[in-house]
Amino acid sequence: MNLPNKLTVLRVLLVPVFIALFYYGQYFLANAVFVAASLTDMLDGKIARSRNLITNFGKLMDPLADKILTTSAFVCFVAESVMPAWMLIVILAREFAVTGLRGVAAAEGKVIAADMTGKIKTVLQMAAIIVILAALAIPGFNYAWAVWFAGRGVLWAAVAMTIISGVQYLWKGREFLDMK
């Protein structure tokens, strides 16, 4: 297994560590683990492209690892009433729709590649999680409220970009939807 794929697997393996830390109220450590896992996303892609180490495993698992990581954090947020459930449902609906569309395209030998709106969506989702975890990690209410509202703003932006990118992927892949 090459280095980019190992980093992708590491990202998935960090998810249970993140969840455990979150549920034990260790928000600072949970955030550190989440940041480390998020950085592996950026790093594995750069290494794979620069060293020509792009594999089918990486093409499948890299975006899946991102979805597992971010969705796990959002589920934790919903369970602890940090995030409304409808936001998670919007995020999950987009992910299922795009993944299903890509599966249909792949069955026809076509690839619907990631585009900039999907990448921006992922960055905004990760940023929202990091900022909200930072707010949870601040003891007391002194400055936590400012970080909290900043995190909520980024979360709203992430949900908006989730919708925009989902619509864009569906439009791009409409030929595979066969909705005649």
Residues 6+ apart with CB under 8 A from 25: none
Instruction: Compute CA distances 107 → 95, 104, 110, 111, 172, whole Å.
Output: 18, 5, 7, 9, 16
Per-residue pLDDT, 141: 58
Dist. CA 167–CA 180, nearest whole Å: 18
Per-residue pLDDT, 107: 84
Helix%, strand%, coil% for the chain, nearest 5: 80, 0, 20
Per-residue pLDDT, 173: 86
- List of the chain residues with pLDDT < 70: 140-147, 179-180
Residue 180 inside a domain? The answer is no
Residue 156 inside a domain? The answer is yes
Amino acid at 150: A
Residue 94 inside a domain? The answer is yes
CATH number of the domain bearing residue 84: 1.20.120.1760
Dist. CA 126–CA 120, nearest whole Å: 10
Rounded to 5 degrees, what angle do the CA atoms 58, 59, 62 make? 60
Per-residue pLDDT, 109: 83
Residue 64 inside a domain? The answer is yes
User: Is 54 in a helix, a strand, or coil?
Assistant: coil
- Residue 40's domain comprises 3-175
Looking at the 3D structure of the chain, how many domains does it have? 1
Residue 26 inside a domain? The answer is yes
User: Is 80 in a helix, a strand, or coil?
Assistant: coil
Q: How many CB atoms lie within 10 A of CB 166?
A: 22
Residue 63 inside a domain? The answer is yes
Residue 98 inside a domain? The answer is yes
Residue 140 inside a domain? The answer is yes
